[in-house]
Amino acid sequence: MPIQDNPLFRRLHQHAQKRLVFDPGVSRSKQLPAYKRYMQLENVMLERMHRKGESGRKVCQARAAMIDVVIENLFLAALDLYATEHGPLPTKMAILATGGYGRRELNPHSDIDIMFLYPLKAAGKDYEKFQEVVTEGILYPLWDLGLKVGHASRNAKEVIEECRKEVQSKNAILESRIICGSEPLYKSMRSRFEEFVKKENSKLYIQQRLEDELERHAKSGNTIYLQEPDIKNGVGGLRDYQNILWMAHIKYGFRSFRDLVKAKLLREDERQAMVESYDFLLRARTELHLQNRRPTDKLDLEQQPNIAEQLNYPQKDIFERVESFMKDYYTAARTIYQTSEMLKERMALEAATGSKARISFREALRAHQHLPIKKVEGFQLYEKVLFDRQPQRIQRRPRAPDTHLSSITAIWCPLGPGPTLFDHPLDPADRP
């Protein structure tokens, strides 16, 4: 369903029409209290949704929709102000949401990242004044509302140049969307960006993403099971989920896990488990932000009892409540981590089976790090993951007790009639 057709989005717009429409000439300072009241009331509604057990993603999407409405109204006010004081608008433009805001995944204290997109040939004094009026008319009120806003002003050429220099800029545009303004302008930029992605060497990007992930995991001790895990950057955290989608898009053009299912790189039950795990982490992060009243991603030990209680864990005993909550957290993080690792191998090996039989990105990175690729009874062993491209050879659990398979966490073979990936123990009949 398009967001504009969502009943929640319509309600937000109706509320805005009651509170955020002003007579011509009303100063920004006099408009600000109305915006503050609008956001105060909507934040109460969002917290109520969260407390009633609504999904983490839906609450985040609702928060993004609220910010969309605020920015759209500020944009229209800025256009009216320019037209009143300076005459006809000198150029078209668009305001984009990027990064997490572009994904419509805003927790209570998430950053709001936006881009002011202008045409390639926009120039002159009128354009500069227009740019000034729009920028001030949107950014100043957002800052006054207490929001942390990241912003940039670009044309399509500058977008590509920035993406060429900075990986994070490429990630931001991957997840960009238009909030308001000229849709043809945005589509034109996006088309140029997709062409750039196709022509750009994906190997370097993927290697950078894998190295970034290794660094993040190292900071968490390369384990999911920390007493105070980092929901965003830890092993199996939100960033791991996002990272695998970024790499899948850059390498194959996939935009979602549904695309991976269609490509037979992921089963539907695996996709569903990933989505549910990610939703759980978003919900936990929303509660974490609400309790701290600031952006944070660390599940502090002392806060875990209150977080579990607010997430409706019913246990009266504080230790049992925390144990139940953290068990669910570890399960979600493990699902994201293991599925992401599996997808990295599947996608890399898929590319390596082409006619040129090039080494995969993961293999190249391992070679760079001097990590050994072991041979185990005719299979290849990478970081406790066993590989074979002949699915008929993996039909039953190995019987020999003296093999080296006791430390194997997963096995991989091409999707098809044979088995795919099984968590340890190796027999699919033993899976929970």
Over residues 290-309, the pLDDT tens digits come to: 999 899 999 999 999 999 99
The percent of residues above 70 in pLDDT, for the chain, comes to 79
* pLDDT tops 80 at residue 319: yes
Cβ atoms 416, 391 nearer than 8 A: yes
| Closest to 117 (Cα-Cα) out of 145, 80, 75 | 75
Q: What is the tens place of the pLDDT at every residue in 336-348?
A: 999 999 999 888 6
Residues of the chain with CATH 1.20.120.330: 203-356
pLDDT value of position 201: 79
Q: Which residues pair with 149 in a beta bridge?
A: 112
Q: What are phi and psi of 65, to 5 degrees?
A: -65, -40
Angle of CA points 159, 163, 166, to nearest 5°: 135
Q: What is the mean pLDDT of the chain?
A: 83
- What is the C-alpha end-to-end distance of the chain, expressed in Å? 34
Residues of the chain with CATH 3.30.460.10: 3-197
Q: Which residues pair with 375 in a beta bridge?
A: 380
415 pLDDT band, cuts 50/70/90, is very low
Q: What is the tens place of the pLDDT at every residue in 219-262?
A: 988 999 999 999 999 999 999 999 999 999 998 889 899 999 99
Rounded Cα distance, 163 and 172, in Å:
9
pLDDT value of position 147: 96
Q: Considering only 76-85, 132-141, 263-272, 361-370, which range has the smallest mean pLDDT?
A: 361-370
Q: Which CATH architecture has domain 3-197?
A: 2-Layer Sandwich (3.30)
Rounded Cα distance, 426 and 388, in Å:
14
Residue 401, burial from CB neighbour count under 10 angstroms (0-12, 13-18, 19+): exposed
377 pLDDT band, cuts 50/70/90, is low
Residue 251, CA distances (Å) to 208, 274, 416 in order: 13, 20, 22
Joined tokens for residue 95 = 């305001």
| Closest to 382 (Cα-Cα) out of 415, 419, 408 | 408
The residue among 249 and 3 whose pLDDT is bigger is 249
| Closest to 380 (Cα-Cα) out of 395, 366, 397, 401 | 366
- Secondary-structure class of domain 203-356 per CATH: mainly alpha
The residue among 139 and 13 whose pLDDT is bigger is 139
Q: Give the mean pLDDT of 155-182.
A: 93
